[in-house]
Structure 1
Amino acid sequence: MGMFLLSLSRLSTRWMGPDRSVRFFKRCGQLVPRRSAKKLPAAVVAQHALSGLGYVPMKIECLEQSLAVWYSLNRHGHPAELKIGMRLTPLSGHAWVVCEDTVFVHTPGLEDFTVVASYPAWNATDTQPENTVSAP
């Protein structure tokens, strides 16, 4: 499953960009029912999501890795937040996932990054569209 998820995240971010890819993965996670009733630990779920890294015949960047981990953690009931950050010296960007005070897809110097985009956790039963304004 990890190989498929990483490949799909790679293709979706290249063709649709990060915002549409996040919406796509969120929608897929809400439509597909969970297979198992037992809740696996977050570290195990993240490890399974990244298990195909050595087998995919393309370079999988941190954004694609983070998207796969974010999807998997939320899908298994762990509230995970996807973050994308930038730093100026040296100019670079990085994507990572925060779940239950644990950082996945970590890089040295992560505290130097300024978050420029953040995608919150989603619930598999949450089906309300994202950009709706509710009347008071």
Structure 2
Amino acid sequence: MNALGYRLDAEGLFTAALHPPARKTTQVRYVDSEPRPSARVRAAGHVGLATALVLLRCLPVRLVVHAARLAARLPGRTASPEEADAVCVAVRGAVGWWPGRAACLEESLAAYLAAALTGRRVTWVLGARFVPQGAHAWIATADAVHGQEPADRVWPYRAALSVESSN
């Protein structure tokens, strides 16, 4: 300990922690090895993608977030990690048919809406990181981030906005 540390300790202002606080780790789940989702989930993926594309291209972001919060009012239960993965795979399949751009913002909103349409709850997250700088959007369940590709992103991103069930 240096001189400043001794002075802080003498004044009673310095307390040393025995162990650093435990940091919650987030599991990142990838879409490369997921099985084909059911026809119902695939249909929800197409509807979710079409809705997300219209919302993001025609409305300001604040209204898109409001629409996502309205979707959270649909009846449903919390999605399991496997159900969230299935929705991501369905949206990724729908994106394959879309001739235009569909990046993480469009895909994550589409997956969030598709999950709501199938009666499942996930969290839609918009986030950023500082080093290297970047912004990203994703869906999440309790302790997992869903729908990522193995070589796609460098984690960790910090959530700036989360839209989840308000029920």
TM interval, shorter chain, is: 0.5 to 0.7
**Per-residue deviation, 1:26:** 4.4
For residues 110-129 of structure 1, the C-alpha deviation after alignment (integer angstroms, 9 at most, x for no partner) is 21x2211111135xxx5xxx
Which of 23, 46, 50 is the equivalent residue of 1:7? 50
Determine the structure 2 residue equivalent to 1:70.
Answer: 112
**Per-residue deviation, 1:59:** 0.7
Determine the structure 1 residue equivalent to 2:126.
Answer: 84
Cα distance in structure 1, aligned partners of 2:144 and 2:72? 22
Superposed, which structure 2 residues align to 1:14-93 within 5 Å? 14-27=57-70, 30=73, 41-93=83-135
Determine the structure 2 residue equivalent to 1:119.
Answer: 163
TM-score normalised to structure 2 length: 0.57
Determine the structure 2 residue equivalent to 1:109.
Answer: 154
How many pairs were matched up?
117
Contact 2:88 2:147 in 1 (8 A): no
Structure 1 runs, 4 residues or longer, greater than 4 Å off: 28-31
Give 1 or 2 for the bigger CA radius of gyration: 2
Query: Which amino acid counterpart does residue 162 of structure 2 have in structure 1?
Result: S
Gap runs ≥5 in structure 2: 1-42
For residues 96-117 of structure 1, the C-alpha deviation after alignment (integer angstroms, 9 at most, x for no partner) is 1102433223243221x22111
Higher relative contact order (CA 8 A, sep 6+): 2
Query: Which amino acid counterpart does residue 158 of structure 2 have in structure 1?
Result: T
Gap runs ≥5 in structure 1: 127-136
For residues 62-81 of structure 1, the C-alpha deviation after alignment (integer angstroms, 9 at most, x for no partner) is 01110111122233333211
What root-mean-square deviation, in Å, do the aligned CA atoms of Structure 1 and Structure 2 show?
A: 2.7
Cα distance in structure 2, aligned partners of 1:100 and 1:72? 18
